[in-house]
Chains A and B, each alone.
Chain A
Amino acid sequence: MKEMICIVCPKGCHLKVDENNDYSVTGNACPRGAEYGKNELKNPMRMVTSTVKIEGALLRRCPVKTSVAIPKGKMFEVVQALNSVTVKSPIKCGDVIIKNVAGCEADIISAKSM
């Protein structure tokens, strides 16, 4: 049994998810909560945002993000992969900086035109 706070809406239901009972969810006030609880335990995914070094721009760092959510357990690996990258200005918001980062089937893309 795993306890968690639902983040689907501001109410913040305290969910209990039973991994031994087909991920059945209790404590939820709505069906969206049940789905959240289940996914959060089976396959939690997170967007990762960070920065990379940039040369030739007004500032020294360019904000980046993953193009889609990645497995929660891969977050540190993804951020680590950014350390070896330096991009050059000009760069456009949405430009791909690293393809298929850390084997997550997500790209690292620029979040700002610089």
Chain B
Amino acid sequence: MFDVVIIGAGVIGCATAYKLSKYNLKVCVLDKENDVAMGATRANSAIIHAGYDPEPDTLMARLNVDGCAQAKELAKKLSVPYKNVGSMVLAFSDEEAATVQKLYERGVKNGVPDITVLSAEEVFEREPNVSREVVCALWAPSAGIISPWEYAIAFAETANKNGTEFVFDFEVKDIKKEGDVWEISSCDKSVKAKYVINAAGVYSDKIHEMVAEANFEIIPSKGQYYLLDKIEGKKANCTLFQCPSKVGKGVLVSPTVHGNLIVGPDATTSDNRDKVNTTGQQLDFVRNTAGKSVSNINYRNSIRNFAGMRANSNIDDFIIQVAADNFIDLAGIKSPGLSAAPAIADEAIKILASIGAELTEKESYVDSREKVVFKELSAKEKAEVIKKNPLYGRIICRCETITEGEIVDAIHAPIGARTIDGVKRRCNAGMGRCQGGFCGPKVLEIISRELNISPLEVKKDKNGSNVLVSETKEEK
């Protein structure tokens, strides 16, 4: 019996678990996949928005600005790659200049700090690769870039260190209430809890409908991206947006915390919430649209395409509500959900308190996270860590300079990596230009060794995504 069960181990569920973990509560996080951050959290623009986009007086406006301010400190405390690079919204016409002005005023109302409008010359000075067609731009210095999956992983690990349990491969099929107790069941397991928090992302409406009448609907919106080699990483110094339209914030060009360049997304609705495929047509659209902002991106240096599914809904705001007795929805968390995540978690806790949950702080809890990032160490520090653990002296991922020590750390971390992509999300091995071509077989071998499983059992990603199918030279 848990005090709180959180459904969904994306960044919202994990942030909520992290914030709850300082209280004397028994908390459990459920997810249908085999790791944290398996939905929208791992496939998005990786931006911490400043908060000038949402309409004033919405939850989105308030929680975005608050979350943006929290991100800086949380990233530092929890060793999450984050850079406060700022963002621009580029205007290419007088009409768009008027939009920029409107965004500026909205930003001021929303409490976005230090927001200004830059002249074309000021834009070119900061961003020499931006199209000369630009007439002016909104400049929001508080915006940042982050590693979204590491944000979620850091929250999860810290929560876990404070006693929060995580149960994977748990697809919620049924939720029932008996007396004061919620019982949440998958095909073969069930857990009981006093309070339930629905952070199920693109499935948050389905979860809601297990306990209450439908009062919102998720309309999943797929976005496709290019990720480019570090050679292209300097083509933008901050996040470059175009003027927003009805369908979203449009195609952006941005550096990433890992030094790459990200370009995207488009927005298409999809009937299949799990199908995050890319298409030739939409990738062309992304490239062509981004060309308006920065025309000299060399797409021959592309290292990866991907698509993510945003939990857009038919409501123009985040849906944070008490859906039933002791059951809270954190639903329809579309963009800027990543930016708002820690503030959404605070909001959830406020609601928990208001509906009677007893929140007393633990006498002691962990609120920090450290990890060895070999390539960022000085020569002297490198020598020292290798002396302590020789595995830091063996580079496995040559593109990103990731050592065997870091991979072993990722596997044995509190919510440890179980798959090749899990390792990638935790320590970047395989994230570089060869996309695991060289290090994939070595990472597979390390996972097999450390978890004491056959190489044939090692998965790339989700269950069923085994890398190898059989041994050679088997006698038939």
Residues of chain A whose beta carbon lies under 8 Å from any beta carbon of chain B: 51-53, 61, 82-85
Asked whether any CB of chain A lies closer than 8 Å to the CB of B474, the reply is yes
Q: Which residues of B, 440-475, contact A by the 8 Å Cβ criterion?
A: 472-475
- A-contact 0/1 string along B180-203, CB 8 Å cutoff: 000000000000000000000000
Q: Which of A61, A83, A85 contacts B474 (CB 8 A)?
A: A83
Give the complex CA separation of A82 and B473 in angstroms.
7
Residues of B within 8 Å of A52, CB to CB, are: 473
Residues of B within 8 Å of A84, CB to CB, are: 475
Give the Cβ gap from B231 to chain A, nearest Cβ, in Å. 34
Asked whether any CB of chain A lies closer than 8 Å to the CB of B476, the reply is yes
Determine whether the beta carbon of B472 is less than 8 Å from that of A51: yes
Secondary structure of the B contact surface, majority rule: loop
13 residue pairs of the A-B complex, CB under 8 angstroms, read A51-B472, A51-B473, A52-B473, A53-B473, A61-B472, A61-B473, A82-B473, A83-B473, A83-B474, A83-B475, A83-B476, A84-B475, A85-B473
Residues of chain B whose beta carbon lies under 8 Å from any beta carbon of chain A: 472-476
Give the complex CA separation of A83 and B472 in angstroms.
8
Give the Cβ gap from A49 to chain B, nearest Cβ, in Å. 13
Give the complex CA separation of A74 and B118 in angstroms.
75
Give the complex CA separation of A84 and B472 in angstroms.
11
Give the complex CA separation of A103 and B472 in angstroms.
23
Contacts beyond the supplied A84-B475, A85-B473: 11 A-B pairs with Cβ under 8 Å: A51-B472, A51-B473, A52-B473, A53-B473, A61-B472, A61-B473, A82-B473, A83-B473, A83-B474, A83-B475, A83-B476
Residues of B within 8 Å of A51, CB to CB, are: 472-473
Residues of B within 8 Å of A83, CB to CB, are: 473-476
Residues of A within 8 Å of B472, CB to CB, are: 51, 61
Residues of A within 8 Å of B475, CB to CB, are: 83-84
Give the Cβ gap from B458 to chain A, nearest Cβ, in Å. 16
6 nearest CB pairs, A to B: A83-B475, A83-B473, A53-B473, A84-B475, A82-B473, A52-B473
Give the Cβ gap from A27 to chain B, nearest Cβ, in Å. 39
Give the Cβ gap from B475 to chain A, nearest Cβ, in Å. 5
Give the complex CA separation of A85 and B473 in angstroms.
8
Give the complex CA separation of A53 and B473 in angstroms.
7
Residues of B within 8 Å of A61, CB to CB, are: 472-473
Give the Cβ gap from B174 to chain A, nearest Cβ, in Å. 47
Give the complex CA separation of A85 and B476 in angstroms.
13
Give the Cβ gap from A8 to chain B, nearest Cβ, in Å. 33
Give the complex CA separation of A104 and B472 in angstroms.
23
Give the complex CA separation of A61 and B476 in angstroms.
18
Q: What is the chain B residue whose CB lies nearest that of A60?
A: B471
Give the complex CA separation of A61 and B471 in angstroms.
11
Give the Cβ gap from A75 to chain B, nearest Cβ, in Å. 16
Give the Cβ gap from B262 to chain A, nearest Cβ, in Å. 39
Give the Cβ gap from A111 to chain B, nearest Cβ, in Å. 15
Give the Cβ gap from B281 to chain A, nearest Cβ, in Å. 37
Give the Cβ gap from B445 to chain A, nearest Cβ, in Å. 11
Residues of A within 8 Å of B476, CB to CB, are: 83
Give the complex CA separation of A84 and B473 in angstroms.
7
Give the complex CA separation of A84 and B475 in angstroms.
6
Residues of B within 8 Å of A85, CB to CB, are: 473
Residues of A within 8 Å of B473, CB to CB, are: 51-53, 61, 82-83, 85
Give the Cβ gap from B272 to chain A, nearest Cβ, in Å. 41
Give the Cβ gap from A29 to chain B, nearest Cβ, in Å. 37
Give the Cβ gap from B472 to chain A, nearest Cβ, in Å. 7
Give the complex CA separation of A106 and B475 in angstroms.
22
| Most chain B beta-carbon contacts within 10 A, residue among A51, A83, A84, A85 | A83
Residues of B within 8 Å of A53, CB to CB, are: 473
Give the Cβ gap from A85 to chain B, nearest Cβ, in Å. 8
Give the complex CA separation of A84 and B476 in angstroms.
9
Q: What is the chain B residue whose CB lies nearest that of A82?
A: B473
| Most chain A beta-carbon contacts within 10 A, residue among B472, B474, B475, B476 | B472
Give the Cβ gap from B455 to chain A, nearest Cβ, in Å. 10
Give the complex CA separation of A53 and B471 in angstroms.
10
Give the complex CA separation of A85 and B474 in angstroms.
10
Q: What is the chain A residue whose CB lies nearest that of B474?
A: A83
Residues of A within 8 Å of B474, CB to CB, are: 83
| Most chain A beta-carbon contacts within 10 A, residue among B472, B473, B474 | B473
Give the Cβ gap from B442 to chain A, nearest Cβ, in Å. 13
Give the complex CA separation of A51 and B476 in angstroms.
16
Give the complex CA separation of A53 and B476 in angstroms.
15
